[in-house]
Amino acid sequence: MARVCVVDDQAVMRDSVAAALERADHVVTTFADPVEASERINAKCFDLVLTDLRMPKLDGLGLIRAVREAKCDVPIIVMTAYGSVPTAVEAMRLGAVDFAQKPFEADSLEIKVDRALLHQRLRTENEALRTSLHDLRKDRRMVGNGPEMARLRQQIDQYAASDATVLITGESGTGKELAAAAVYEGSPRCDRPMLCVNCAALSANLLESELFGHERGAFTGADRMRRGRFELADGGTLLLDEVSEMALPLQAKLLRVLQEGEFERVGSSVTQRADVRVIATTNRSLGAWVAKKRFRADLFFRLNVLPVSLPPLRERHEDFPMLVEYFLSRMARQMGRTPLVVEPEAMEPLRRYGWPGNIRELENICQRAVATVTGAAIRREDVNQWLGSEGADTGPSAGLRPGRMLEDMERRLIERTLKQFDGHRVKTAKLLGMGVRTLGLKLKQWREQDAATVDAEMPVAVG
Distance, in Å, from the CA atom of 76 to the CA atom of 193, rounded to the nearest integer, reads 29
Nearby residues of 284 by Cβ (< 8 Å), 6 or more positions away: 169, 244, 433
Helix ranges, 78-105 (H): 85-94
pLDDT at 393: 44
Residue ranges of alpha helices (H) inside 95-173 are 106-139, 147-160
Residue whose C-alpha is closest to residue 202's, from 264, 165, 250, 169: 250
The more confidently predicted of residues 317 and 13 is 13
pLDDT, tens digit, 9 for 90 and up, residues 3-41: 999 999 999 999 999 999 999 899 999 999 989 888 888
Q: What is the pLDDT of residue 83?
A: 57
Domain ranges in the chain with CATH number 3.40.50.2300: 3-126
- Residue 426 φ then ψ, to 5°: -65, -45
pLDDT single digits (tens) 234-244: 999 999 999 99
Per-residue pLDDT tens for 93-109? 888 888 888 888 888 88
- pLDDT bin (cut points 50, 70, 90) of residue 463 is very low
Q: What is the mean pLDDT of residues 78-90?
A: 75
- Candidates 275, 205, 292, 281; CA nearest to 237 is 275
> CA-based diameter of the chain, in Å?
122
Residue 85 pLDDT > 80? no
pLDDT at 134 over 80: no
Tell the CATH topology of 145-311. Answer: Rossmann fold (3.40.50)
pLDDT band at 293; cut points 50, 70, 90: very high
Closest residue by Cα to residue 195 from 135, 279, 134: 279
Handedness of CA 339, 341, 342, 343 (dihedral sign): negative
C-beta separation of 77 from 100 below 8 A: yes
pLDDT band at 161 (very low <50, low <70, confident <90, very high): very high
Q: What is the pTM of this model?
A: 0.60
**What is d(CA 328, CA 331) in angstroms, rounded to the nearest whole number?**
5
Architecture of the domain defined by 405-457: Orthogonal Bundle (1.10)
CATH classification code of 3-126: 3.40.50.2300
The pLDDT assigned to 401 comes to 42
Closest-CA residue to 53 (of 115, 12, 10, 15): 10
Question: Reduced to 3 states, what is the DSSP secondary structure of residue 220?
Answer: coil
C-alpha–C-alpha distance, residues 449 and 70, integer Å: 80
pLDDT tens, position by position, 199-257: 988 888 899 999 999 988 888 888 888 889 999 999 999 999 999 999 999 999 999 99
Secondary structure letter of residue 294 according to DSSP: S
Architecture of the domain whose range is 314-392? Orthogonal Bundle (1.10)
Q: State mean pLDDT over 127-132.
A: 62
Least confident of 118-132, 217-231, 246-260, 292-306: 118-132
- Predicted confidence (pLDDT) at residue 137 exceeds the cutoff of 80: no
In the chain, CATH 1.10.8.60 sits at: 314-392
What average pLDDT does the structure give for the chain?
Answer: 84
The pLDDT of residue 90: 82
Task: Express each pLDDT in 355-407 by its tens digit.
Answer: 888 988 898 899 889 988 888 899 998 888 888 644 444 343 444 444 444 56
Measured CA to CA, the distance from residue 67 to residue 72 in angstroms comes to 6
User: Is residue 244 within 8 Å of residue 203, measured between CB atoms?
Assistant: no
Cα dihedral angle (376, 381, 383, 387), rounded to 10 degrees? -160
**Angle between the 248-260 and 204-212 helix axes, to the nearest 10 degrees?**
10
Q: Which long-range contacts (CB under 8 A, 24 or more apart) does 123-132 make?
A: 123/73
CA 283 to each of CA 309, 407, 430: distance values in angstroms, whole numbers, following the listed order: 10, 24, 9
List every span in the chain annotated with CATH 1.10.10. 405-457
CA distance 219 to 196: 24
Residue 94 is predicted with a pLDDT of: 87
